[in-house]
């Protein structure tokens, strides 16, 4: 699934982030684009831990400026970028082939 990436914008989501990562990694996703809107909890450490096993482009942003909506177009190496929230989980039908 190297042509797929998941884009996530978050702030202080350490309660949900482990489950979210483990689920999407179990589906085979290895590329993540994460924009962190000034988290002050353990979000950064969790992301740092997962960056040892998957590809994470991590950037701190000021979401009020909304510039991060334009930034995924800088990632032309991916055919598809899925934009979801930390409380959303992609469901893939067992007959779906993402290769």
Interval 64-91: pLDDT, tens? 766 655 555 677 788 888 889 999 999 8
- Ordered by start, the domain boundaries in the chain are 4-83
Q: What is the CATH number of domain 4-83?
A: 3.90.550.10
Rounded CA-CA distance 26/6 in Å is 14
Give percent of the chain above pLDDT 70.
Answer: 86
Q: Let me know: does 99 contact 1? Beta carbons within 8 Å.
A: yes
The total of other beta-carbon atoms located within 10 Å of residue 10's CB is 20
At 72 the pLDDT is: 56
């Amino acid at each position: 699934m190297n042509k797929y990436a998941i884009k996530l914008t978050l702030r202080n989501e350490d309660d949900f982030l482990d489950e979210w990562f483990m689920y999407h990694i179990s589906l085979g996703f290895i590329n993540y684009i994460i924009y962190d809107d000034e988290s002050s909890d353990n979000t950064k450490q969790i992301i740092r831990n997962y960056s040892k096993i998957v590809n994470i482009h991590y950037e701190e942003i000021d979401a009020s400026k909304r510039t991060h909506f334009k930034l995924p177009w800088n990632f032309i190496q991916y055919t598809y970028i899925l934009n979801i929230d930390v409380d959303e989980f992609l469901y893939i039908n067992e007959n779906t082939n993402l290769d």
